[in-house]
């Protein structure tokens, strides 16, 4: 298995395809395996696509220490350096989108084009309450299936829920494979998301940015994406109908096409 030593922590990573580098950053509670089925095959046709697990997720090492979104951004920058990648397109979803924002702010020379999906600049009252609820579940060491049920309630459309066989397969997959991180690390991720705040600094970003939103996203609704776009100097919004927070799953082809078209415009 490939690992990179980053800030004294061994991070698991994979690279797929050739071309201009594209770094995919995973969201809260997820592993890089989530990109493999639907995004990596499409993106790897045009880009050297790098996926990796955050510290304490999957095969990546867990030192048991608290961290911030900024720390995770520094991890991403160090991973690119260890792979000899001077500059990459960066795509992040939810917590990964927060990491992508901080990466572009803290290491602007490392980022070419930026894609932000289902994320925010600062948690509002409802987002804070929701993440605090997930934090409580982690502290209570709730069964992983309960955590997944809570997650899908906020990330899928009503129409997808009608596909009961699909939902049951998702639940069965988590029962069989287990949660990709410990309860303690999930707590650290929740704390990092609660503390994330780039609202006052986003105007400093000059990177061309694509903001992608599922029209029915309840976790990070369209108004939060519009706020991101209005704060950035060079950004535009793509809203995909009939999709919720997991827009990259529910509308994979439209999502992938939008990202690839945006990246193809790089000079």
Per the structure, the complete domain to which residue 83 belongs is given by 3-264
Number of structural domains found in the chain: 1
Per-residue confidence (pLDDT) for residue 147, from 0 to 100? 85
| Tens digit of each residue's pLDDT (9 = 90 or more) over 66-123 | 999 999 999 999 999 999 999 999 999 999 999 999 999 999 999 999 999 999 999 9
Per-residue confidence (pLDDT) for residue 176, from 0 to 100? 65
The DSSP annotation for the chain comes to --EEEETTEEEEEEEES-SEEEEEE--TT--GGGGTTTTHHHHTTTEEEEEEPPTTBTTS--------HHHHHHHHHHHHHHTT-S-EEEEEETHHHHHHHHHHHH-GGGEEEEEEES--SS--HHHHHHHHHHHHHHHTT--HHHHHHHHHHHHS-HHHHT-HHHHHHHHHHHHHH--SB-HHHHHHHHHHHHH---TTTGGG--S-EEEEEETT-SSS-HHHHHHHHHHSSSEEEEEETT--TTHHHHTHHHHHHHHHHHHHT--
Per-residue confidence (pLDDT) for residue 175, from 0 to 100? 65
Per-residue confidence (pLDDT) for residue 109, from 0 to 100? 97
Per-residue confidence (pLDDT) for residue 144, from 0 to 100? 78
Say what percent of the chain tops pLDDT 90.
85
Lowest mean pLDDT among 33-37, 151-155, 226-230: 151-155
Lowest mean pLDDT among 62-66, 73-77, 131-135, 196-200: 62-66
pLDDT of 267 above 70: no
At 42, which CATH number?
A: 3.40.50.1820
Per-residue confidence (pLDDT) for residue 146, from 0 to 100? 85
pTM confidence score: 0.96
What's the mean pLDDT when you consider all of the chain?
A: 94
């Amino acid at each position: 298995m490939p690992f990179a030593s980053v800030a004294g922590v061994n991070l698991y990573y994979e690279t797929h395809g050739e071309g201009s580098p594209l770094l995919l950053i995973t969201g809260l509670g997820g592993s890089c395996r989530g990109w493999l089925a639907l995004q990596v095959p499409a993106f790897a046709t045009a880009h050297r696509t790098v996926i990796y697990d955050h510290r304490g997720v999957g095969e990546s090492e867990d030192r048991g220490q608290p961290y911030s979104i900024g720390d995770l951004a520094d991890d991403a920058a160090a991973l690119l350096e260890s792979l000899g990648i001077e500059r990459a397109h960066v795509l992040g979803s939810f917590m990964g989108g927060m990491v992508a924002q901080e990466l572009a702010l803290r290491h602007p020379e490392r980022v070419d084009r930026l894609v932000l999906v289902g994320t925010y600049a600062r948690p509002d009252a409802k987002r804070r309450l929701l993440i605090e609820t997930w934090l409580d579940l982690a502290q209570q060491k709730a069964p992983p299936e309960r955590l997944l049920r809570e997650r899908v309630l906020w990330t899928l459309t009503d129409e997808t829920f009608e596909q009961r066989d699909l939902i049951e397969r998702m639940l069965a997959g988590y029962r069989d494979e287990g949660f990709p991180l410990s309860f303690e690390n999930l707590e650290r991720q929740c704390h990092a998301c609660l503390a994330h705040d780039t609202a006052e600094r986003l105007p400093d970003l000059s990177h061309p940015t694509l903001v992608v939103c599922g029209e029915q996203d309840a976790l990070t609704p369209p108004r939060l994406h519009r706020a991101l776009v209005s704060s950035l100097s060079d950004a535009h919004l793509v809203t995909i109908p009939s999709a919720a927070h997991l827009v990259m799953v529910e509308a994979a082809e439209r999502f992938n096409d939008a990202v690839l078209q945006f990246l193809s415009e790089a000079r």
